[in-house]
Chains A and B, each alone.
Chain A
Amino acid sequence: MTSAVQIAKEVRSGGRSAVDVVTEALDRAAASQARTNAFVTISSERALVAARRIDDVVRSGREPGPLAGVPVAIKDNICTRGLRTTAGSAILRDFVPPYDATVVARLEAAGAIVLGKTNLDEFGMGSSSERSASGPVRHPLDPGRVTGGSSGGSAAAVADGVVPLALGSDTGGSVRQPAAFCGVVGCKPTYGLLSRYGLIAYASSLDQIGVLSRDVEDARLALAVMSGRDPLDATSVDAAVAPERALATSDAPLAGVRIGVVRELMGEGVAPGVRSALTALRARLEGLGAAVVEVSVPSVRLAVATYYVIATAEASSNLARYDAMLYGARVAVAGDDQERSMRRSRAAGLGREVQRRILMGTFVLSAGSFDAYYRRALQVRRLVADDVAAALAGVDALLTPTAPTVSWPLGARLDDPLAMYLGDVTTCIANLAGAPAVSVPAGIAEDDLPCGAQFVGAPFDEGRLLSIAAVAARS
């Protein structure tokens, strides 16, 4: 599989046509789809039209953009103008947005070509990509296993070589954990680096669009193209990621770099195979010149509970709009009893896990429980953010396993939501702190399946974080 950087180079030089690139990618997508169900929609026509336009631009000598001709897959909770966007939900099965998400507009403006919309856990709520109205995503290496989630379709599309680059969204680990399960790179940037305009909200204060790729440098290029303040998102920030790598290649590329292994996330609950893969990685990083120390994030034990209180509270609010009055699949009732219609449409159109989270969120925001749950969760969130900042004070990046385990068999955790939730412990701290985090493949851990290593950096320090991750990924 050619990298995005390499494809763009060939297309820009005229050495390869975008139409050829896209045609090949569409063939791979069709083949992969049959095995993995990675896509909700494959947008062949739209992709070929875009590819022809890129080729015209190249032929006419105009600037086709830094991602010219690169096929990308977009998680199906990110809006694409004129292209159905379901968020994996039955209630949005026919929703065609009249606008593009800002990240999609910026990718396309840079020459990237949207190949299709990838499968996911409904509204991003899940860690296995099994809870989709379009059916579960299957692991490319073992169709009996989950890809992780919720950006499982994007992870599978990249891991299966369909596209070099895909967008996901990450509220508590939804880009990084499937990237780790599928053996690819997953980057969740700092909260605010990428506009959320057009991302179908799950938990707005935690949601961040992220990138999945095989090559860290492809992720860097994609972030560089998409970052920058968006007047349509009041929480977006005027920050940029430099498109060029920062660390020189040498015998000791990590000389002077300090890495902190988070003590609390290397012990109990982490599968032995994952732990040994991380220990081996640590040794390799030291060999490349890094100083690796142990650091502590004491509040980590509170992180999952805090995360689920805040995420479900915001979800109950964000998902209130799906009443099928204006758009979405409506269950018609006799007469003009709109309340009954809303209730029945929501009951029929929203999946069990989504309903569970809406109910939890409604509960924690209710008058009798607000102080005990939501207010306290906001306080603990502050504590987690402070702990992460303190742990980062003496090091350039934190190092943790991306997930405590490798992929599990399809269906294994569907009836045990708590086990599913607990797997988010390693990733959700970055969302609570708003910090950037990137997962890189850390080798085969157990059952011939890969695991990931997660690096967490200081807010808006993506440049350095990606450079460290790139060295780790090559090691």
Chain B
Amino acid sequence: MTLRAPSGPHGARRTPFESVIGLEVHLALKTRSKLFCGCSAETFGDAPNVHVCPVCLGLPGSLPVVNRAAVDLAATFALALGCRITPQTQFHRKHYFYPDAPKNYQISQFDRPVGEAGVVEIGGRRIGITRCHLEEDAGRLVHPPYADHSLVDLNRAGAPLLEMVSEPDIRSPEEARLFLEHLRAIAQSLGVSDAAPEQGKMRADVNVSVRLPGEPLGTKVEIKNLNSFKSVQAAITLEARRQVLLREAGAPVEQETRGWNEGGQKTYVLRTKEGSADYRYLADPDLPPLHLDEVAIARLRGAMRELPEAKRERYVALGVRAAEAELIVLDVPQATMFDALLEAAGAIEPRPTPHTLATWLTGEVAHARKGAEGTLAPEDIDATALVALIAAVEARTITLTSAKELLGDVLAGADPATLIEARGLRQIGDADALGAMVDGVLADHPEVAADVRENPKALNALVGRVMRASGGQARADAVRALLQERLRLDPDGG
């Protein structure tokens, strides 16, 4: 996939200003238990306050003990982003008073994060990764309408989060979105996170500033709590436009934190620089530094699953078009499906090419999955049946039209061979049978045949009639050849 020019225009207005964008992304780590206790980390949709214990409630006397699986996932993700792993990583307490934090501090990381100084390459541009660190999630405040109180749900409190901070290397809202798509694909490929924004498992804060090319960095504004890729893109676009308008009016941009109003599609001030918090970071005395030595790092590297970038290169080497390969790997369920198709194709003759499979997957299959609105998970699809269907088209056993008709049933689990026979969709390629049909049509429509003799370009009118007579099963190219032969036309003319 090619990127737009790095410093694109914002919205419809043309402006000489460029946007400078950095992202902070929170990923919910896919562990069984929370970061510092044994409670389940998978609480989405459950009744409030059922996944809690003395530790994640911060009861007096309770102590955190780190979940090593979360550390491994965080380090794996950091490695995938090319980060340097900190040999003795340390947890710090970040203090703020709010009822979503039962201890009134969050256990996070400060000067010794799990990983630092990485880089992600997208579309030929390098986006620097400042750091990847572990921290515990907060609970959730619920504000019942018209009530004089708020409610607290601490199911999520203590769930493991990975926070990734990028360098301000991103230059457009579109690039920000593409970067997020890459992160999601990496996280999902590695099994580090479901990275599902709609479940709150991937959240982003963005830092935006504008400048004229060549100027030093401008004053940045942070926009917090963006819950979809679409809102990230929209918020950056609008914030950059707001700042450009200020600059053009000669007004300064104030350093502040803004929130995102999804309904109104606008940002609003959360706090200004004067109100910035002093978190009083303190190395958590309850959690000794964790050692991640060379052996541990080598073990994590060894266990690492194939990354989207490696997958993309593999697909391209197999003959898949670059744009399709990118499309497939950025959608991890689709990539999983594609690998299954490639494997299934190995056992089928004639074998459809990876290129053909990719075209089907990103075209007809993607369309069908979209139509099924998420009820069609890739793991539910029988790859062998799907490949058999595609192979039947390749072998000219059925027409493309028939295949498209059957796709829905095959994705739902039907066997294509049985369907083809049951519905009599096998193409008629037999010369005698087709000859009889062609002769029948010519005899029934002498006036059309005469027209075609005069004007060979009108041959399709006859081809159509034969196809209809065959119930769509005649092989169109064979019909065409027979007609040309019967009418003694020059094959190149029709």
Contact = CB atoms under 8 A, between A and B. Distances in A.
A320 B65 contact: no
Contacts of A216: none
Interface string B74-108: 00000000000000000001010101001111000
Contacts of A374: 282
B287 A323 contact: no
A326 B286 contact: no
Nearest to B141: A338
Contacts of B150: 336, 338
A323 B101 CA distance: 11
Interface in A222-261: 231-235
B396 interface: no
B105 A234 contact: no
Contacts of B62: 99, 197-198
Interface stretch (A37-45, A56-64, A200-208): A200-208
A323 B97 contact: yes
A235 B57 contact: no
A235 B61 contact: no
Given A200-B60, A336-B148, A235 B97 contact: no
B102 A326 contact: yes
A140 to B, nearest CB: 28
Interface string B35-52: 000000000000000000
Nearest to A338: B99
A232 B61 contact: no
A374 B281 CA distance: 11
A234 B148 contact: no
B139 to A, nearest CB: 10
B61 A325 contact: no
Nearest to A378: B283
A457 B359 CA distance: 75
A78 B93 contact: no
A87 B95 contact: no
Interface stretch (A11-19, A90-98, A347-355, A442-450): A90-98
A92 B64 contact: no
B327 interface: no
Contact of B278 (A97, A198, A367): A367
B340 interface: no
A92 B143 CA distance: 27
Given A366-B278, A367-B278, A323 B63 contact: no
A196 B60 contact: no
A233 B285 CA distance: 11
Nearest to A231: B65
B280 interface: yes
- Chain B, interface SS category: loop
A85 B54 CA distance: 14
A317 interface: yes
Contacts of B456: none
B105 A235 contact: no
A424 interface: no
B91 to A, nearest CB: 10
A98 B53 CA distance: 9
B282 A314 contact: yes
A88 to B, nearest CB: 12
Interface residues of A, number: 47
B285 A97 contact: no
- Chain A, interface SS category: loop
B61 A198 contact: yes
Contact of B148 (A200, A235, A321, A335): A335
Interface in A92-116: 92, 95, 97-99, 101
B273 to A, nearest CB: 14
A339 B97 contact: yes
A136 B143 CA distance: 44
A194 to B, nearest CB: 13
Interface in B262-284: 278, 280-282
B59 A98 contact: yes
A317 B54 contact: no
A79 interface: yes
A158 B488 CA distance: 120
Contacts of A370: 280
Contacts of B464: none
A298 B27 CA distance: 50
Interface in A47-88: 77-79, 85, 87
A186 B384 CA distance: 75
Contact of A321 (B60, B63, B65): B60
B66 interface: yes
Given A205-B285, A234-B65, A235-B288, A323 B59 contact: no
A99 to B, nearest CB: 6
- Counting from the closest, the 3 A-B pairs by CB-CB distance are A320-B104, A205-B285, A204-B285
19 contacts: A87-B60, A97-B54, A98-B59, A99-B59, A101-B61, A197-B62, A199-B61, A201-B60, A204-B285, A233-B286, A234-B65, A320-B105, A321-B104, A323-B97, A326-B152, A336-B143, A338-B150, A342-B97, A365-B281
Interface of B: 54, 57-66, 93, 95, 97, 99, 102-105, 143, 147-150, 152, 278, 280-282, 285-288
Interface of A: 77-79, 85, 87, 92, 95, 97-99, 101, 196-201, 203-205, 231-235, 313-314, 316-317, 320-323, 325-327, 335-336, 338-339, 342, 362, 365-367, 370, 374
Given A317-B105, A336-B150, 9 more contacts: A233-B286, A234-B63, A234-B64, A235-B285, A235-B288, A314-B285, A325-B102, A326-B57, A327-B59
